[in-house]
Structure 1
Amino acid sequence: MIDNAQRNREAEVNLLAAARDAQWSATTFLGPGSLKLVSPAKVNLLLAIGAVRPDGYHEARTIMHALALHDTMYVHAAPASADEVARAATESRAEVAVGGPAENLLVSIDLSDRTGQGLAVAAADNLVFKAADALARALDRRDCERVSVRIEKHIPAQGGLGGGSSNAATMLVALAQLWDVPADDDRVVAVARSLGADVAFFLQGGCAQLGGTGDTLERTLAPSRQAVVLVKPADGVCTAEAYRRFDERPTPVQPAVLEAACAAADAADVPLVNNLAPAAEALLSELVAVRQWLADRVGAQNVLLCGSGSATFALVDDYDAASALALAAGKQGWWARPTNLSGLRAAIVPSRR
């Protein structure tokens, strides 16, 4: 049981964090020339997992769609001294990591959680740092440099919404701009693909069909603007475990359904299918309750698990309906947000002059 003293301590921490956020400014904390970027979430309208390949990955065909729900990122790069980088490498601070081709890249990451679910990731484990490190190596940047990052998180972790992958893609977009490299440079795209199947999608955004292991762009579709509600229980699903369960009892997508999805020119015409969902639901039974709760309200054909979970999305008539449904889901004890399908991608927000 949580006692009053612990509640007071937590309230004090929350108030301090809120005060710090209220005073935060990109120019003050990162410096002039900081980039502001949007880092959108996604859903899979189609997720058709296939057989395991010789390299250990699964064949996968997916149609991803960006959402209006997004994290906001700020990125600034500046020269650093060798002593500064070396000192940071020995201090073992959770918010700082050192990488680059000559251990010359100092990356600091400030996470501001706006999801209400709590978030604590060491910089060295953050896909944002891995993106910066990989791109610096691909470009063979050897001058000592400090990259400061602020991430305001609205996309919950372990939801299948691609928040971490989107942040990594957004970091690549930011550094390409700061390092004077085209965002569609082959090296940027190659780094994105090396970081995970979803990262390359966020460079494209909108609605796109991907093949291979889900990382190879096959075509784009006309995006939709339909309203969506996202609902997520507190617990997450281990993606690796979901795939292991899937391999024990594979459930391929019916050829006719896959053909219809792959023939659709418009996102609105894609049937909602996810053959990884039964494996994920077997690991977290609360997903069944969420799916059934949403299906009772909007129809089963409009409800689908996001990737391997644990968020489930439902297509609804309009934003007001999504807001009402999110409010009702919150009363069930679930995290829930209204949003829209969107044409967004990882992108720099134009500065106002």
Structure 2
Amino acid sequence: MKLLVKAPAKINLSLDVLHKREDGYHEVEMIMTTIDLADRLELTLLEQDKIKIISHNRFVPDDQRNLAYQAALLLKERFHVKKGVAITIEKTIPVAAGLAGGSSDAAAALRGLNKLWELGLTMDELAEIGSEIGSDVSFCVYGGTALAKGRGEVITELPAPPTCWVILAKPFIGVSTADVYRKLNLTGVNHPEINKMICAIENGNYEKVCGHVGNVLEEVTFPLHPEVAQIKDQMKRFGADAVLMSGSGPTVFGLVRHDSRMQRIYNGLRGFCDQVFAVRILGERHKLD
């Protein structure tokens, strides 16, 4: 038996960090939404009691460092599953890009294995298990649009944002999320207005969504990697309606309504950036089959 599962990337429309917690994590408030840029996972049921990861991308580990592997192992051990799985990961989402590619792969593995191994778990149960793997995995289990609190695992569903193009540009560097959070100094930081972003989304007001994007981690990543700030400036100059770094970077995204402007920005960025994509906001939650 084989299953195909999509693992869409996410962007942060707002990312705020409130304080460092006693457990070493940071307390965050983030508004995330899924976009139509996705990895594809093929899950093949194995009679042997083993987990096998197959990927042709040299940046994707095929052992326990892989989050999809960790997801499969967690389900196997918790529910005493004696069968195995081969997970083939076809990467489209750039690696170490601030787009939750690894977390989305883990979430897709959880959703797919729930069906493949006939576990009968609810979406909420899968999200709770996902929180043990990584901070973004719970959101990626649900997909759609949400406010994420805690260390990212406390999820409140939001409506889909107004439809628009999302142009993504990633320079040929990776950014360590752990390093960025370690270097974050919250003294004097401009915190994004999360509640105003929520109102803008709930009212379907595209202009106000664009007016309230914000990410406190830009203040750490930009000095470390000036090319990320340069991409943001360039995207603004080309005429995007709103521009922001996603997650801890280095990917920068721009929101655009008009097809002709999207094409102009896309073509302009391809001149000096390694990976450029133009996709749509998905914004709707996943459903369990």
1:304-328 deviation line (CA, Å, top 9, x unaligned)? 0011001000001234533442232
Cross-structure match for 1:261:
197
**How is 1:59-70 mapped onto 2 (pairs within 5 angstroms)?**
59-70=27-38
What residue is the counterpart of 2:265 in the other structure?
Answer: 325
Instruction: After TM superposition, list the pairs within 5 Å mapping 1:141-156 onto structure 2.
Output: 141=81, 143=82, 145-156=83-94
1:159 matches 2:97: yes
CA apart distance, 1:183:
4.6
Structure 2: how far apart are the matches of 1:266 and 1:134? 40
Q: TM-score, normalised by structure 1?
A: 0.75
Aligned pairs for 1:154-303 within 5 A: 154-184=92-122, 187-247=125-185, 249=187, 251-253=189-191, 257-264=193-200, 265-266=202-203, 268=206, 269-270=208-209, 271-299=212-240, 302-303=242-243
- State the 1:54 CA deviation: 1.0
Q: Which has the larger helix fraction?
A: 1
Q: Which runs of 4+ in 1 moved over 6 A?
A: none
Structure 1, unaligned runs of 5 or more = 1-32, 81-104
Q: For the residues of structure 2 that align with 1:186 and 1:209, how far apart are their CA atoms?
A: 15
Distance 2:250 2:218 in 1: 10
* Paired residues of 1:205 and 1:344 also in contact (CA < 8 A): yes
More deviation, 175-184/208-217: 175-184
Per-residue deviation, residues 127-148 of structure 1 (Å, max 9, x unmatched): 000000111122132x2x2311
Unaligned 5+ segments in structure 2 are none
Closer, same or farther: CA 147–319 of 1 in aligned 2, 3 Å: farther
TM-score normalised by the chain length of structure 2: 0.90
Q: Which residue of 2 aligns with 1:78?
A: 46
Deviation at 1:344, TM superposition (A): 5.1
CA-atom RMSD in angstroms:
2.2
- How many pairs were matched up? 284
* Other structure's SS at 2:191 match: coil
**Identity across the alignment (%):** 28
Q: Which moved more, 1:263-272 or 1:309-318?
A: 263-272
Task: Report the Cα offset of residue 63 of structure 1.
Answer: 0.6
Report the CA distance between 1:252 and its aligned residue: 4.6
CA distance in 2, matches of 1:71, 1:347: 17
Structure label with greater radius of gyration: 1
Q: Aligned equivalents of 1:326 and 1:210: distance in 2?
A: 30
* Code of the aligned partner of 1:281: F
| Residue aligned with 2:24, SS | coil
Cα distance change, pair 284–346 in 1 and its aligned pair in 2 (3 A): farther
- Structure 1 residues 274 and 223, CA gap change in structure 2 (3 angstroms): same
The alpha-carbon distance between structure 1 residues 224 and 108, as it changes in their structure 2 partners (threshold 3 A), is farther
- Post-superposition CA distance 1:107-145 (Å, at most 9, x none): 1111144xxxx534232211000000111122132x2x2
State whether residues 225 and 341 of structure 1, in contact with CA within 8 Å, keep that contact through their aligned partners in structure 2: yes
Aligned residue for 1:49, secondary structure, equals: strand
